[in-house]
Each structure stands twice: as C-alpha cells, then as structure tokens.
Amino acid sequence: MKIALLPGDGIGPEVTAAARQVLDALALPGLVLFEGDVGMAAYHRHGHPLPAETLAMARAADAVLFGAVGDPQGDSLPREHRPEAAILGLRSELGLFANLRPAAGWPGLEDLSPLRPELARGIDLLVVRELNGDVYFGAKGERITEAGEREGWDSMSYSESEVRRIAHTAFEAAGKRRGRVTSVDKANVLETSRIWRETVIEVARDYPEIRLDHLYVDNAAMQMVRAPGQFDVILTGNLFGDILSDQASAVVGSIGLLPSASMGERTTEFGTFGLYEPIHGSAPDIAGQGKANPLAAILSLAMLLRHSLGRETDAGRVERAVAQTLADGVLGADLGGEASTETIAAAVVSNLLSIS
C-alpha cells in the first residue's frame, strides 16, 4: 500500500503531520509513505507549484493525503504558478472528477453552529461536487473591449458525459444513505445548467428507488441555512459545489472538522484511487503556531483508508477515536477550546489505541 503525503502550505504540514501520527499508530503492515512538495513550498524549491516528480509520485500511489495549498505570496504570481494551480492540476491530471464532501453535525457540538441547535442537529448531508469541468477548466483570458477596457472572461460548459458520470456517483451514494438526491443548478439562466438538469433526469431513470429533486443554486444556498436537515445528497457542478460545500461546513459549526475525498475511475489493488484533503484551506494567519485543528485531516485519512485501501475497520476506528476526542472536550480554538494541534493529535492516538 503506497500513500503519497503532500503537506503543502500554511497549516497543511501541521495537520498532515498529525494525520501521519494516527496512521503510524495503526501500524498497517506493508504500508509505504512518500512525501512530496506541492503549492507555494514547491514553487520556491522547484519553480512550479506542482513539480513533475510530485505528480509522478501521486500517480504511482494508491492514495494521496493532501494538506492545503495557498499563500498570500502567491497572489501576485501568474495563474499557472499560483499555489492553487497545484490542486487544480492534480485533480485534472489524475482524473479526479468526483469530490465527496460530507457534512454532519457532531452530537454535543450543536452550539458551535451559527444556526439554532435544533436545526444544526438535523444536518447530515453529502455534497457530491463535479471536479474536472465547469468554469474552472474552461477557456479563460483577458481581452480588450472595443471601448479599450480590459475585460476578463471565463467559459462555463458541461458535456453530457461529464454530467452522467458524476450523477451516477451521486445516485450510488444516495443508495447507501437516505435515498435522496438534490441536483443544484441555475437552469433558469444557464445553458450549461439546462444540459446538466436534462442529463441528471436521464440518469435518474436507472435509479427508480432514489428520489430526485432540483433546486436553483440561490434557493439551495437559502435552504441550507433555513432547513439544512432536508438535504441528503447534493449533486452539483464545480463552482456551485465549491461555494455550497464551504457553506455546509459553516452550518455544522467548524470548517476544521470536514474531510473530503476526490476520486476518479482508476482502481487500485485495494479500492479506488483517490486524493483526500481537509476542506479548510492553508489558513496562513495561524500557520506554524500549533493552533490548527487536525481533525479534518485525520478524518480525511479515515476516508482514504475506507475508499482507497479497503480498510473499513481501521477507518471506523479512526472515526470513533475522533468522536471520543470531541466528546472528551479536547477542542481546538476553532471549536471554542484551547487544545493545540499536538494535544488533539495525541488524544486521537490515545483513543485509537484503546479502541479495538
């Protein structure tokens, strides 16, 4: 079993080091770890945020555990050298089209949600975000208008096959959950969304047991704060999914708790190849201070064990150790506590060792 660790920028190295302690505590036989440079750190060392050797390392692995990329120093760089280009490059080069972002309230932490506790308690949703298309990867550029002004432009598109494969992911995920898919688009305005919606309806015919509905993205954003408990699986495109998944993390209380998996079609000896990352970013304002909550990275490791290494039992153990840590009140600053990254990681490891 090969895992590529890509810590990246900001708090990425701290939280992936914590996840690594948890991985070490599992003592998996036959596990080999590689570590590569990515993001601003890689740009400084290799002149590119996604060096060829890092990409090759990711390709050769069964799974990638990713920290975060992003650095204020990158703001002035051309787009292809910005640290964000690294994660976008990995997603497209590795064909990771399906991004799974679960968001559920943690029992006992309802008070952390900006929503009323009775609303927060009911949240248990999964955002299935398309990750290889949309306005993210369309042609883009800058041109001069007839009036002599600079104009930025980006093109948005989805083909039927792109929509079909992510729709299958969502319907299959819903089959293992509460059997509901809400497809989110802007079909009242965008042609991209019209094709999206028509294709999702077509795919739904293969899943008669799943209940499908459709929301425009503005309405979906409103419903997520008004009545988030109504959602099971939210199926959406790259841009809307980016926005709604941050919102989903905020309504459960902390972005520091949410993991994600990005998967494609490639299978490995043990499962499906994937890249796993906390959904929080690099948080440069708190980097290097030992304040970052490593739980999202640790929960990303659990998803990696489950989906890419076929180690369901170990994944469950890690998740229970995290739940115990939260139940014991070992909370980072993001959750209103004072525990350091180190303290939280040590608590998870100790809980893990007492769970068989």
Confirm if 126 and 236 have CB atoms less than 8 A apart. no
**124 belongs to the binding site for ligand IPM (CB under 6 A):** no
Name the pairing type of β-strands 259-267 and 272-278: antiparallel
Q: Please say if 186 is a catalytic residue.
A: yes
175: nearest Cα among 136, 135, 232: 232
Nearer to ligand IPM, 13 or 70 (CB): 70
- Cα-to-chain-centroid distance, residue 290: 22
Residues 51-80 that bind ligand IPM (CB under 6 A): 70
The CA-based diameter of the chain, rounded to the nearest angstrom, is 70
Task: Give the residue at shortest CB distance from ligand IPM.
Answer: 84
| Residue 160 touches which member of Mg ion, ligand IPM, none, C-beta under 5-8 Å by kind | none
CB of 252 to Mg ion, least distance (A): 15
Nearer to ligand IPM, 230 or 247 (CB): 247
Residues 113-132 that bind Mg ion (CB under 5 A): none
C-alpha gyration radius of the chain? 20
Strands (DSSP E) found in 162-258: 180-185, 211-216, 233-236
Which range, of 59-67, 82-90, 169-177, 288-296, touches ligand IPM by CB under 6 A? 82-90
Q: Which two tokens stand for residue 312?
A: 């369901």
Binds ligand IPM by CB under 6 A, chosen from 9, 134, 242, 319? 242
Nearer to Mg ion, 72 or 108 (CB): 72
Q: Which two tokens stand for residue 168?
A: 């299958």
Alpha-carbon distance of 332 to 345, in angstroms, equals 11
Which range, of 3-11, 39-47, 81-89, 182-190, touches ligand IPM by CB under 6 A? 81-89
Alpha-carbon distance of 220 to 229, in angstroms, equals 12
Binds ligand IPM by CB under 6 A, chosen from 84, 124, 160, 172? 84
Q: In Å, how far are 63, 258, 275 from 310, measured between CA atoms?
A: 11, 21, 15
CB of 72 to ligand IPM, least distance (A): 14
Q: Which two tokens stand for residue 40?
A: 């601003």
CB of 206 to ligand IPM, least distance (A): 28
Q: How many helices (DSSP H) and strands (DSSP E) are in the chain? A: 12, 12
* Contact pattern from residue 12 through residue 51 relative to ligand IPM, giving x for each residue in contact according to CB under 6 A and a dash for the rest: ----------------------------------------
Active-site choice (37, 242, 314, 334): 242
Binds Mg ion by CB under 5 A, chosen from 242, 314, 319, 334? 242
CB of 101 to ligand IPM, least distance (A): 8
Q: Which residues are paired to 265 by β-bridges?
A: none
Q: Please say if 9 is a catalytic residue.
A: no
Alpha-carbon distance of 200 to 220, in angstroms, equals 17
User: Within 10 A of 312 (CB to CB), how many other CB atoms are there?
Assistant: 13
CB of 12 to ligand IPM, least distance (A): 11
272: nearest Cα among 86, 111, 114, 63: 63
Binds ligand IPM by CB under 6 A, chosen from 15, 87, 252, 347? 87
**160 belongs to the binding site for ligand IPM (CB under 6 A):** no
Binding site for ligand IPM (CB under 6 A): 70, 84, 87-88, 242
Binding site for Mg ion (CB under 5 A): 242
The catalytic site residues sit at: 136, 186, 218, 242, 246
